[in-house]
Amino acid sequence: MKLNRTKHKLYIPDSLHEETAIKRTTHMAIGAHQDDLEIMAYHGIQECFQAKDKYFFGCVVTNGSGSARNNIYEHYTDKEMMEVRKKEQKKAAHLGEYTALALLDFPSKDVKTPHSQDVVDELKELILIAQPEILYTHNLTDKHDTHVAVALKVIKALRSIPKEKRPTKVYGCEIWRNLDWVNDDEKIYLDVSKHPNLAASLVEIFDSQVIGGKRYDLATIGRRLANATFNASHAVDEESALSYAMDLTPLIEDETLDIVEYITLYIERFKIDVKNKLEKYM
């Protein structure tokens, strides 16, 4: 199987034939950067880990050249950082027993170009081969521009695929903006309590980020714990770790839905909920 860009790499941890590995996918995640999958889509990773009938396929869209860096990585060039981050991502794929990993290697500027079709075409090709049941990507209220751009490209790719070949569920997950603010009856609750040692190890493996100036290891596990603890004020915790997501499935079931309106209505409903509580106790 050959992707359109020569820089693209497919990594198959168990050395199975590339197309065979991808075709057995049940859970797929598409993230902007190396380590995004492990932060936002751990639910899919844990569900497939050592399972006999579930397989996780990870796709990283950008080349990671613009990442923050410090400590021993402080003087690394963009090219050197790209190689380090690819190596780290492959280690994570091996540790998490992914069925496959696709490194698309696009510069962020290509992803953020509104009418660029190259990224959409690559994602469409991979999704059509994988045909996952569940797909995870970034949520559309994320404050990172590249994350939002990737999610929009994912939706565009999914809308171009025949309906019978689209995922059953598409979730927009939290990284650069917590989804705690979404009204409780609209949140997707992803129990990520399984294999806590694996959950920690998958984020810690990205050494260039953790000691390079961003403690994603502590922040990720801390957020999941906080979500579980603060989820319900009048009940004991049912899960030890929770991730939140938005349900993006309606956007791929109905192409006529306006994406901007669909997402901003979440904000409007949150505004109404806050307003009603304030007025109730004035």
Give a yes or no: residue 279 inside a domain. no
Are 139 and 246 spatial neighbours (Cβ–Cβ below 8 Å)? yes
In a domain, 265, yes or no: no
* Run of H or E including 94: helix 78-95
73 lies in some domain = yes
In this structure, is residue 196 part of a structural domain? yes
| 101 CA to centre of own chain | 13
Question: What domain count does the chain have?
Answer: 1
116 is a domain residue: yes
Q: What is the pLDDT of residue 172?
A: 98
Check which CATH number belongs to the domain holding 119 and give it: 3.40.50.10320
What is the amino acid identity at position 14? D
| Unique residue bearing structure tokens 């797929």 | 28
Position 141 in a domain: yes
Q: What is the pLDDT of residue 6?
A: 44
CA separation, residue 163 to residues 77, 242, 249 (Å): 43, 30, 12
263 inside domain: no
Tokens of residue 144, six digits: 């990172």
Collect all residues with Cβ–Cβ distance below 8 Å to 128 and sequence separation of at least 6. Answer: 161, 165
| Residue 234 pLDDT greater than 60, yes or no | no
Name the 3-class secondary structure at 106: strand
Domain that holds residue 148: 9-256
Higher pLDDT, 65 or 20: 20
| Residue 39 falls inside a structural domain | yes
pTM score, whole prediction: 0.94
Cβ atoms within 10 Å of 187's Cβ, excluding its own: 18
